[in-house]
Amino acid sequence: MKSNKQVMKKLIVSIFLFFITTIIALAYLLSIIVSESVSYEKGSLEYYLLTTEIIKELPFTELEDANYFYSTADGNKPVENVVEFSTTKPISALSEYLIANKFKLLADGSYENGSQIIYIEYSENEKKQIKITVLEYLN
Partner 1 sequence: MTERKHIVDALIAPNLDRGLIYTKKCGWVDLGHANPAKGASVLWEEIKNEKGKPSAKAGYYRISYSQKMGTKHIKIGIVKTYDLKKGMKLEQKKSVALSIFLDVSKDFETMQGNWFWGIFTDSSFSAEDLVSNLIGFYRAVEPQKQFIQICEPVSKKEALHIWDTYGAVGSNKNYRTTPYIYPIGESKNYGPMSSSLPPLLNTIQPAKQGILFYEVK
Nearest approach, Cβ of residue 58 and partner 1 (Å)? 17
Please compute Rg for the chain using Cα positions.
21
Across 54-85, b (16+ Cβ under 10 Å) vs e yields bbeebebeebeebebbbbbbeeeebbbbbbeb
Question: By C-beta, is 7 or 34 nearer to partner 1?
Answer: 34
Quote the CA–CA distance of 3 and 16 in Å, as a whole number: 20
Question: By C-beta, is 43 or 75 nearer to partner 1?
Answer: 75
Query: Rule CB under 8 A: which residues touch partner 1?
Result: 27, 30-31, 33-37, 49-50, 52, 72-80, 108, 115, 117, 133, 135-139
Question: By C-beta, is 81 or 87 nearer to partner 1?
Answer: 81
Q: Which residues contact 88 (CB under 8 A, 6 or more apart)?
A: 126, 127, 128
Nearest approach, Cβ of residue 34 and partner 1 (Å)? 5
Nearest approach, Cβ of residue 108 and partner 1 (Å)? 8
Nearest approach, Cβ of residue 61 and partner 1 (Å)? 26
